[in-house]
Structure 1
Amino acid sequence: MACSSSSKAALRLQFKRQRLSAQEQVGAAIVQSALEHLPQAAAATGHIGIYWPLPGETDLRAVAELPPLAGRLALPRISQGTLEYLPWSPGAPLEPDDTGIPAPSGGAVLGAEQMACLLVPALALDRKGFRLGYGGGWFDRLRAAPCWRAVPALAVVPCACLVEQLPRDPWDVPFSGWLNEEGLHWITP
């Protein structure tokens, strides 16, 4: 179902409010779910892409304390119009990326083959894995490349923002599943 940008913009406003309200109630449960399920979900090797939390997003940085994930985390950085992942550990220097979000300031850019999975914040997600984000298209452009599309990607979204179907555009790339306060859910093709 293709959509107009105005309908997605209206949904963004609606789900931003809905997610913020839900986050206050279930944010800690989503973090607990990540702490319980990520070590088993992520392959024994490779980096786990998380994100620097913006207001209203679940803060997953606590997973850095899990021994199986220590030294395996990565944060995204937008640089010169491209989303890339760099290794990250708590206390490492950060600087604003091209969008103003804190990101690693140094280190080698990681390739898709170095990633075990990606966790991406969502305003909403439908049961086929289509995510409603902020509208920048960064993750869709990254995951349009076959090598990045092969990396399992999970949207982080409270149950209150999980819907049957969202409008989508031809460039939208579905996610492999989602993480919420009820656990980790994989979409079976």
Structure 2
Amino acid sequence: MDSSLAQQRQALRQHMRRLRRSLSDTQQFQASQQLAEHAILFSPIEQSHRIALFLSMDGEINTRPLIARLWHSGKRVYLPRIDPTCPTSLIFQQYTPQTNLIKHRLGMLEPEENSEEICTFTELDVVIVPLVAFDSTGQRLGMGGGFYDRLLADWQKTSVFPIGVAHDCQLQEALPIEFWDIPLPAVITPNRLWQWNNKEA
């Protein structure tokens, strides 16, 4: 990776993380409610049965109101776990109100291991993806671990539909991208649905 590009990406990550952490509790609450209202009506989500999400941290838009609506609608909700057999990959496990959560070494909450509730990536209908920033073409900047870029590398060859969720302030005109960055076909923010024809990207 070009060192100047790497520095740009890291500086942008730090700036955007500070920006979203600066939102007040009231702003975060309102944003999460608006996001849930819009997302539950988006047809790929409305028509899905198995949806993977994440539990928010570090100022990310709160996904719990959306999870509650998905449960109420009878959807099966899954959360990512670090694959114990491959620590650079994610697996997905069903999440219900009764699921015990544990904190992973990277800081994220994940379900306590239960091999009977695992769902493979290709068995999912929708994967809702975290991001640090996105741009007007659907490019996504993540935290830098590459988990979702690896996961979504061949999503176009599957029936899985990835969707980013973010605060409105996480939009950038253009991102400093690398060849491994995977553009998204849709991003939902509290005030807007963004869609792109990235199926063949």
Name the TM-score, length of structure 2 as normaliser.
0.81
Unpaired runs of 5+ residues, structure 1, are none
Residue of structure 2 in register with 1:180 after alignment: 189
Q: Report matched runs for 1:77-96 at 5 Å.
A: 77-79=81-83, 80-81=86-87, 82-96=89-103
Moved more, 48-57 or 167-176: 48-57
Are 1:61 and 2:68 an aligned pair?
no
* Matched letter for residue 51 of structure 1: F
CA RMSD across the alignment: 2.4
Q: Which residue of 2 aligns with 1:17?
A: 18
1:135-162 deviations in Å (ceiling 9; x for gaps): 0010000001346765222222212120
**2:36 alignment partner in structure 1:** 35
Question: Residue 152 of structure 2: SS of its match in structure 1?
Answer: helix
Deviations 1:110-153 (A, max 9, x none): 12343221222222111111112210010000001346765222
Percent identity reads: 26
Mapped to 2, the partners of 1:43 and 1:111 lie a distance apart of 21
Q: Would the alpha carbon gap of residues 87 and 20 (structure 1) be closer, same or farther in structure 2, given more than 3 Å must change?
A: same
Task: Give the structure, 1 or 2, with the largest relative contact order (CA under 8 Å, sep 6 or more).
Answer: 1
Contact in 2 for aligned 1:126/1:164 (Cα 8 Å) = yes
Q: Secondary structure at the match of 1:144?
A: coil
Does 2:11 correspond to 1:4?
no
One-letter amino acid matched to 1:87: Q
* Matched positions, count: 187
- Name the TM-score, length of structure 1 as normaliser: 0.85
Q: Distance in 1 between matches of 2:159 and 2:153?
A: 10
